[in-house]
Structure 1
Amino acid sequence: MILKAIIDEQVYTLNVPDPVIARGGDFFAQLDRDMDQGWQMSREWVEAPNRLQRCQIIADKLLTALEKENEKLGMLMAGYILTRLPGVESVELDVQGEVQNNRFRFQGAGGLGATDSASGDSGRGPERDLAGNQTGDQAGDQTGDQAELPSGLDKMQALAQAGQDVTQVFKVGKAYRFSVFDHASGRWQDSPLIATEAEAERLRQERFKARYEALQRS
């Protein structure tokens, strides 16, 4: 079985032998069991990934395997996608590591339409980058967003709300970022790409603290 992986304009043809498909059943089932527990898909935590979302998650692992030239892992990831998406012809991998942007094309389906229908697009509008704002979410907490934030919460309520408003750190390609919900616009703001997980976590804690404190103001 053949799956084409598209990275930018480079096309990799993965010819997955039938024995790999046959022997990979237990491994594929284990992948499903892992995803049954829920999965962090970029900035969103998905409690129960559907079949398409699972294949988008595995496509992200396929990208990592190709980057590291791990042929065995790449074949297994391609094998999972081939078994879970009958008729799939190719996958366009998002090099920025945005899992939801991994897109599939199917045999006999139209080009653009097939890509869009399999993209897993949530229908959410374009999201703004914190780097494009003066001081990111802290500016929002102190100015325009302040009017939209719940206020006067007690410590436990503020802690719970801040946990909903500030995501965990997630990996994007070889870098890391987190997202903060902007109540004024009703959209998520992404942090800039950060080189290390430790630095991303430090910056996230700063944003979390700022949001937590803003929620307690009367």
Structure 2
Amino acid sequence: VQESEIGTAPDKTSTAFIPKQNEQNVLNDILSSLHLTPMDVYAADNTCAAGSKLTERHTFFPPFLNSSVARTKTLVHISELSKLHSAKRVVSDETFQDLCDSIESTGIYLYTPIYDSVNPRMPLPLRYECRQFPRASGYVEDPATGIAAAALACSLRKHNQRYFETNNDIVPHHEHTNSYDRFEFYQGTAMGRPSKITIRFVENKDQHCDDTTAVKRTTTRMLCSGLV
């Protein structure tokens, strides 16, 4: 996955996010274009169901991030599901295209993690609710976007690993739970056209030997499936 951070990660006293100075107005304009405000973006000091441990983990993941497995999408972590579902594009096609061009993005991918209400200490979400507003595709919103979900999955996997390895935590692996290797994204709900995209990562390990050396190699495949 290719990434470029648009704003710096929030500090523990922030109420929203701290974008780089020369990009603050653009990021605010993007939020405004989607009927959102900086207060709707997840910050390190926001409370959440999983408690302070999870809050600390999200300082490893910027609130705005350009990520790409094919075409660049801008990932924006929205703090509440109600805010995610109330988002709507309120500017013209031309204005939104210019905003996306200013950050070299082909679309804005909003997401909100949904946690286990029965077991709120679970360190990873059960699923992610998402919405995708493309730069210029002839329609305002897309009910299912595989390359955007794949970009988010790759970035989540990368930053989750960084956090858990730094803090010596054990990541749960379960058939029906997001982990390093499996993510579920629900999209199109606010449009009345719900979809589900599942991203799985499969590692293949092999060893090649000759007379003098043994070379170990690990390759990772990303598998995407969906229901629309």
Instruction: Please indicate the TM-score interval, normalised by the length of the shorter structure.
Output: under 0.3
Q: TM-score, normalized by length of structure 2?
A: 0.25
Higher relative contact order (CA 8 A, sep 6+): 1
Structure holding more strand per residue: 2
